[in-house]
Structure 1
């Protein structure tokens, strides 16, 4: 009978306390840290592990002078228990909050969040006033399930996106600067060789090196490896590079699509439309636990549609320069 079979199959299943104690000890590989997390004593965790090992008839940990190590059997049990506890926790959260409006938590890089995503959020919010969006800008790749993040817009290699990711757009680099700098007397930027008259703004983060975004790579693409600029300034975040370019401090390598809006409104111009692909770009990943939440699905659909529109109607860097000139002429006082 099914009831008898179910009873037989659950005889070996330990209590939830034993499983929680084992999962915490396996995750920390330290009984003391597990005990602190569970608000019990270290000896209580040790007894729980001993009971579990006796019940299963296998050793789950190897005790070493410098700490613990999971045995093969311990690794197998940890994967199963960790997954099961997470599913139980997710189900309980959904049931407990079924009548509450939950925010959609989105993570992306600092540059993408500041320059592309946040300026466009008003479009989504006008169409979805009932949905709260929380932005968690971070240049680290976060584990969505562990951090309880619904959506990630990730920067990655174009040929190696994460599983289940939807590709949004490729990244290209092209020189950008303020309109005033491009037209400075005696320092006009008519062709790439004119960069020798200007300060080049560099992006360099020793904790996260990205040589594909270097001026050297761009100059090599146009056979200008011997070019000597008037000076250099280096920053470790792209939004800092962008601010320096906006302030007229030099010429930056603009990352499309991040500088698209700044080119569109004439705050920056691209003096020569020569873009170099980086082989990287942006994709969107939705956490497994958030699939089926209407508000999260709506946000992901909106991001995909918004990036398609940007790709379908790209800014013409030449037109942007002409537009900026017209705006400056229009704003001059008439005598």
Structure 2
């Protein structure tokens, strides 16, 4: 007797497929699912054999979804996201809640993490899961409650939480080593900059700032380039050069005098930070509490 065409494959195969399709990587899916890469590959093969169609086109260093794979991924994303939310709402009752938040690495390390202890102290029983990534996560599909996103107004969803301003910053030690009284003195210093891979990440451009300062052709003593903003600020703290400080990310370091601003004034940025809450998650008390706490911190 032939098997019904609407017979569902095993759920664990669908969950593994959804992770691989979202990440477009068996290796990253394996990390997420706590499996080996070969186990993920075997499970995807088993699903393809069960369905009788190829779900991925496999290249030398990349995979991509076939048309059946794209259709299945769309369905799995919606259903697995719905399952996660339902399970979370009925899971009994340790009276602990997990709050899942995604944001950029720079915002996470420089602004959010130093303040998170205040939130956890005020809200015992709420566990925070923080994803620091430049990838734009799908909140509903990937099980996140909130996102703090970085970009230009009109190009990013959500409520604007912070405007951004840019100003050169360095360690007090650096000021004692070499003169830095006016922007032209940057010729004697190392400039710290961030260079995103393939255009991704958080750009930190010295060019526009120097243009605004009337020094478009300034050549520094040297430059140090980093793939992440946190690393550039770490180099500034170590006295290795002058970085472009992005407020509010560096505000705490400025307040503590771990970094200083050698010149007066700052330049307004075309980017800002936005808070996006998954609509279904806003019903949960922990999510509403975090949103209120974040907005209060932003106002402070």
TM-score category of the 2 structures, normalised to the smaller one: 0.7 to 0.9
- Structure-2 separation of matches of 1:206 and 1:137: 16
Q: Is 1:36 the equivalent of 2:43? A: yes
- Picking from 174, 178, 182, the partner of 2:171 is 178
- Residue 204 of structure 1 aligns with which residue? 195
Mark the CA change 1:17 to 1:131 in structure 2 (over 3 Å): closer, same or farther. same
Q: Contact 2:170–2:236 at 8 Å: present in 1 too?
A: yes
- Picking from 200, 205, 208, the partner of 1:217 is 208
Q: Contact 2:193–2:243 at 8 Å: present in 1 too?
A: yes
Other structure's SS at 1:274 match? coil
Mark the CA change 1:43 to 1:243 in structure 2 (over 3 Å): closer, same or farther. closer
- Picking from 234, 238, 247, the partner of 1:256 is 247
Deviations 1:226-281 (A, max 9, x none): 22222221111111111111111111111111111110010110011232223111
Q: Contact 1:219–1:225 at 8 Å: present in 2 too?
A: yes
- Residue 149 of structure 1 aligns with which residue? 144
Aligned length: 269
Other structure's SS at 2:97 match? coil
What are the ranges of 5 or more consecutive residues in structure 2 without an aligned counterpart? 22-39, 60-64
- Structure-2 separation of matches of 1:268 and 1:78: 47
- Structure-2 separation of matches of 1:35 and 1:198: 54
- Residue 264 of structure 2 aligns with which residue? 273
Q: After superposition, where does 1:96-107 map in structure 2 within 5 Å?
A: 96-97=91-92, 100-107=95-102
- Structure-2 separation of matches of 1:272 and 1:175: 7
Other structure's SS at 1:121 match? helix
The higher radius of gyration belongs to 1
Other structure's SS at 1:155 match? strand
TM-score normalised by L of structure 1:
0.68
- Residue 189 of structure 1 aligns with which residue? 180
- Structure-2 separation of matches of 1:154 and 1:220: 27
Other structure's SS at 2:220 match? coil
- Residue 294 of structure 1 aligns with which residue? 285
What are the ranges of 5 or more consecutive residues in structure 1 without an aligned counterpart? 1-13, 50-60, 310-335
Q: What's the Cα RMSD here? A: 3.6
Q: After superposition, where does 1:22-171 map in structure 2 within 5 Å?
A: 36=43, 42=48, 44-46=50-52, 68-69=66-67, 83=78, 86-87=81-82, 90-97=85-92, 100-162=95-157, 165-171=158-164
Offset of residue 290 of structure 1: 1.7
